[in-house]
Amino acid sequence: MLISPGFEQKSVVTSLGSIAYALPQTDFWSPAQPAEPTEPLVFAHGFGGGSSSYEWSKVYPAFAPRYRVLAPDLLGWGKSDHPARSYRVEDYLTTLSEFLDKTCEGPATVVASSLTAAMMVRVAIEHPERVKALILVAPAGLADFGKSTAQELFAQILRLPLVDKAIYWGAIATSDAIRSFLQERQFADPDLVSEEMVSAYVASAQQPNAEDAALAFVRGDLSFDLSLEMPKLAVPTYIIWGDQAQFVDVKTGRRLAELGPKAVRAFQVLPAMGLTPHLEFPAVVIGLIRQYLAQIEQP
């Protein structure tokens, strides 16, 4: 929800609704870059209560002088449209692909995290002409190698009409609940969770109809087995994984990476970091992304 200084918000219409995205203000960055950058570099956030492009806001400004940075809010999140619907994986594969097609001239390098990162693997397989390379943080389909959380008790409870929305608004989309989730499940070091982060996540989580996409994620409606897709991946791919990441551990991450030996160029484990190292230690992630971009750009 919060946009970094030097950036502005625009939107693009997809077949399922408008997607809002942040991009650099030309006048702000022009002193550092005589010609407006045209090489697209897309930062796509993951899923979870209150997720939005804010997730990458500590990282993407570092690339504005050289790249045409785009940081979208996914459909049903942040400032994008929140259509009331039963969200499925195909909804995001479609809108992510359409976003790239409508906003990028030529194939884009995409930086993405968690479930969205896994979805971008599928987009790259289905539309290789739209994806130049992938830089992924903990990519996981959350039903990998046949193990899904969709059958867990909490996921089943969230399938009950009325109960699901009551739980969302009373126990998921509150400041205390989001702060607790960030500290206990998303970050390795809870002391690194700031009030700005909590406020940004709460603002996104409390948008009208925000519960539809969030509940689809928690119920497991958006999960799939990424292990079935990785052998098909062909574009250059670089993977980053916090060694304290919950939901999907490093061991599973390595197994997934080994399924795409022709595509995966690096698998970097970050010590003492959780699911979103780009929020915990953005400078480290910026350094890695720069290193990978240099390799991608080599002839």
Distance CA 276, CA 46 (A): 9
> Smallest Cα–Cα separation from 117: which of 247, 298, 294, 299?
247
Contact of 43 with 69, CB cutoff 8 Å: yes
pLDDT score for 298? 87
pLDDT score for 26? 83
Kindly state the helix (H) or strand (E) to which residue 153 belongs, with its residue range: helix 153-157
pLDDT score for 150? 56
Provide the residue ranges of all domains of the chain, joining segments of one domain with +. Answer: 7-297
Distance CA 109, CA 67 (A): 10
Residues of the chain predicted below pLDDT 70: 1, 31-36, 149-162
pTM of the model: 0.95
The amino acid that residue 92 corresponds to is Y
For domain 7-297, the question of CATH label 3.40.50.1820 is answered with yes
Contact of 212 with 84, CB cutoff 8 Å: yes
pLDDT score for 207? 96
pLDDT score for 77? 98
